[in-house]
Amino acid sequence: MFELGILSNSIHLPANFEKTDLDMNLYPNLLTPPMDSPTSSMMSPDSDCRSPTHLFTPYQVPHIYSYNPDVVTIRDLPEPCLRMREPPVDKFRFRYKSEMSGTHGSLNGKTSDRSRKQTFPSVELLNYDKEAVIRCSLYQYGREDMAHTRQLHAHRLVKKQGTDEIDDPHNVHVNSDVGFVANFHSMGIIHTARKYIVPELIRKMTILKQEEIARSEHKFRPLTKKEELEMKTIAEKESKCINLNVVCLRFDAYRVVNNIYYPICQPVSSPAINNLKSALTGDLRIVRMDHCTSPCRGGREIFILVEKVTKKNIKVRFFELDDEDNEVWEDYGRFSDLDVHHQYAIVFKTPPYKHADIDKEVRVFIELQRPSDGARSEPKDFSYIPSEMSIGRKRTRLSSDDYTTSFFSADELPITLNTISPSVDHETMTNANNATINSADLEAALKHNNIDSSEFDKICNSLIGPGPMRDIFTAENVSIRELKSLGLVMDTPNSKIRTPLHSGKTEKLSVTEEENPIDRVKSELISFMKTSPSNNRVSLMLEALISGDKYTTSNGNNVLHFLAAEIGTEDEFVTQLLSFVKNFGKKELLNVKNINGQSPLHLAVEFGNELYLKGLIEAQADIAVQDKQGNTPLHVAIVDRVPEGILLTVLDAYHRSNTNIDIYNYDGKTPLHLAVRGKNLNATKLFINCGANVNAAEKKNGYTPLHLAILNRNIDILKYLLDSTKAECDCEDFAQYNPLLLAQELLDSCDKQTFQIFSILESHLKKIGIPSEMLLHNRVHSESDENDDEEDCSNNNNSADDEANIDIIDKYGAVTDFTDACKISLSDILDKSDAWKRLGESLDFGHILHTDAFAAVQHPTKSLLTFAVANGRSVKEIRDCLATLNEKQAVEIIDKMVMKC
């Protein structure tokens, strides 16, 4: 029966498994049970196992795993194998020995959850029905493809047991009672200091070597000098290439006979466990950046703060995804070693985008990349914006249309425009009071379609091209008087540019009087209209008047920009001009940007010119235009704190044109961010009511409005956000601070506000049913840290099934008192050893102990327990104290009592 070794489920073995250099004929023998073992149909290690033929290497698994599918026959029973039920977490802080005092949390399972359920690495032995031992030990990760050729790691996998630490390997007995499952809990990883690496490796290798000797020689003996030397050489070689920041767990299953360990099956290895504290394996993260945009030609200097990196092992990667998430472009930030500051900041220059001539924002991503292991940070939003060249005087967009700018002739004009009916907006035109005569005049003019084309050419040329003809219709040729008679010249001819209402950034309009194109445009237009031009000519004329060089200042301001500064004048001209543009011109004429990227709308908002603003909106100017900083009129409105009327007007325009108000400017902020930052509660409410995303995060740092309100210590807005919006309380900024953490960080004993903020958040969380501990890093994590009791490595079916243990811990919640029987049992143990005194101390009853109140009674422990429970100490608390005092037996008794409840 034994000669049938391998079977259909050989898939557990690596494909190239049979390559091992051993005699396949041995294989059946290897599975023969040792003499003294109970005869069994199951495989057992063979006591006759021969020494491997290869040189000793401690990590090599005995060759019994080898098989040759050609030699073996098929058998019905599946082969034993190990299955990982729960891998360990992939990040863990390796602690130096000197750091191991106190409790420092154990190596949890990957699915372990702080608040819910703690899990541990665990494996299951399948297809095996006898008592077995499952071993967990620390191996190097990634050195070899196959688990069975992994090499030992020099770090120590220690298991807390009471006060002492047990080094790996850790053996757990399994049998059918525990479902052949082994849980490995309370383990930690000790970072072996460099100088101890070789001795540590030798220590571990010696253990394995001795086991191997016992296996092959059926006896235990110390190593020979030669063997020791051999190991030392290997250890020294290993120590040179060992990666100290990555380990993995390896699990082996053994059948133990006479204390000799015979492998049952192939070992399994966990995925990598990375050292959380190391810059080589720690999390990569961009915590903050000082810019989130770059001109598309690249070269912008950007400072980013990052989690620990090493200068020689870090890159800043930019990439772009298309709609299907395919990467369509990548490049790297430019920097040298010197630009990495103390492992926590990088100063670099952006790479150029693939196109140097983009005309609108391109969204890409930025992330950190670690060449050594290919790890990446979470990518952050980043944008390329048109470079100065293409922004600035945004004439390009217009001139890209087939005609316009220079030197067109009449024949080249598209005829199609002629067909546009002059659907003059009567409402607009007649709305303006007492405008009737003039507008009628113009209207009449418009109706005429019979302008002499040669005359038109002259006009056009005069406006656009240089040459003798240009003077014909210039302002000087039309007397002011004449204009006045037409009612088209304001009585405030001294149209001095007013200072903007707000911060002085509107220098753009401060130009000399002669440069101001308003009057000139006005007279041109009037003269032109007198000629009763055709629709298409009106259109071209408008284009010339608005975007033509002649009427544009060196700062790129045109007449529409200048009109923004004409506040409060109910000027017929303005109304007419806008109406003309709306009806005969191209919409883009309203959106021409000046050198700062501002459209007339920006300026209208900035100057607080509500009337004009409404006019522009009515004429369908683009409400979402962005200036050079990416600010929309809404951004401008909020930054400049314009009067509410203006703000409402702009918002209304967004609303009516169904435009998303969450536009990010090039500083990575939406208007809402600016409102909250400006402590502008009113605007904050308005924006949110208009559909702004309350949870939008700023692009430089990930702050949401909630973060901002807290950072600003702005209680009004904070309350509003919490009470009246869907602001999420668990959102994290780039540095992984959620609002509550931020508030905690802000706590300042000298500042009552900070306490108020914290408690507002806390009570809000309580209200919505989120335990605030969940959001705090140093959360009091559930006392489920259990049983230092029971089970040690060797014999005995210690069968520490942790799931059972965890169940116990759950049960503790329901048990409020000790049973009398339990108290008596505990007294039996603790009374005479005086351990009850220590327990009393631990429970903070020292003062009572000194009164000898307990010492006098027959069962001091029993009294103490009664007293403790009466004074609010929970059974669990007491149990844990005993565990700390290393009273294993007592703990066990309590556990048993709880189990029975």
Binding site for DNA (CB under 7 A): 93, 96-99, 102-106, 191, 193-195, 244, 276, 278-279, 310-312, 337-338, 343, 777-778, 781, 785
Smallest separation, CB 398 to DNA (Å): 52
State the minimum distance, in angstroms, from the CB of residue 379 to DNA. Answer: 21
* Residue 776 and residue 741 in contact, taking contact as beta carbons nearer than 8 Å: yes
* Pick 187 or 509: Cβ nearer DNA: 187
CB nearer to DNA: give 96 or 407. Answer: 96
CB of 843 to DNA, least distance (A): 21
Q: Closer to DNA by CB, 108 or 438: give it.
A: 108
**Residue number with CB closer to DNA (183 or 462):** 183
Q: How far is the CB of 747 from DNA (least distance, A)?
A: 14
CA-CA-CA-CA dihedral for 615, 617, 622, 628, to nearest 10: 70
Minimum CB distance to DNA smaller for 93 or for 550: 93
CB closer to DNA out of 38 and 371: 371
- In the chain, the amino acid numbered 63 is H
Closest separation between CB of residue 156 and DNA, Å?
12
- The values of phi and psi at residue 308, to 5°, are -40, 125
Question: Tokens representing 744?
Answer: 């905690």
Least spacing, CB of residue 606 vs DNA, in Å:
41
Report the residue number, 102 or 872, with the smaller CB distance to DNA: 102
Contact 348/290 with Cβ under 8 angstroms?
no
**C-beta of 72 vs 305, nearer to DNA:** 305
Least distance to DNA, CB of residue 313, Å: 8
**Least CB distance to DNA at residue 323 (A):** 36
Among residues 20 and 772, whose Cβ is nearest to DNA? 772
| Rounded Cα distance, 192 and 156, in Å | 7
d(CA 160, CA 187): 6
Residue 728: count other Cβ atoms within 10 Å of its Cβ.
13
Residue 340 CB, nearest approach to DNA (Å)? 8
Q: CA-CA distances (angstroms) from residue 668 to 501, 648, 703, 726?
A: 26, 23, 10, 21
- Per DSSP (E only), the strands in 359-428 are 362-370, 375-376, 380-385
CB nearer to DNA: pick between 93 and 334: 93
Q: Which is nearer to DNA, 99 or 828 (CB)?
A: 99
- Under a CB-based contact definition with an 8 Å cutoff, are residues 196 and 156 in contact? no
Min separation Cβ 274 and DNA, Å: 13
Nearer to DNA, 104 or 484 (CB): 104
Whole-angstrom Cα distance, residue 271 to residue 258?
33
Distance CA 645, CA 642 (A): 8
Q: Which is nearer to DNA, 156 or 255 (CB)?
A: 156
Nearest-5° Cα angle at 346, 344 to 349: 170
Give, in order, the Cα–Cα distances in Å from 737 to each of 236, 377, 701, 744, 775: 44, 17, 10, 10, 9
Q: Among all chains, which residue has been given the structure tokens 């557990």?
A: 12
Which of 683, 682, 672 shows the shortest CA–CA distance to 706?
672
Asked if residues 167 and 156 have their Cβ atoms less than 8 Å apart, the reply is: yes
From the CB of 338, what's the least distance to DNA, in Å?
Answer: 7
Which residues sit opposite 189 in a β-bridge? Answer: 157
Q: Closest distance between DNA and the C-beta of residue 566, in Å? A: 54
412-444: b (≥16 Cβ within 10 Å) or e:
ebeeebeeeeeebbeebbeebeebeebbebbbe
**Spatial contact of 58 and 207, defined as CB atoms under 8 Å apart:** no
Minimum CB separation of residue 852 from DNA in Å reads: 35
HSE, side-chain direction, 13 A CA sphere, residue 848: 21
What ranges in 160-308 are assigned the alpha helix state H? 197-217, 225-241
Closest CA to 4 of 25, 28, 24: 28
**Separation CA 888–CA 139 (nearest Å):** 31
In the complex with DNA, the residue whose CB is nearer, 195 or 219, is 195
> At closest approach, how far in Å is the CB of 287 from DNA?
10
Q: In whole angstroms, how far apart are CA 228 and each of 194, 207, 218, 219, 222?
A: 21, 12, 20, 18, 10
126: which strand partners?
81
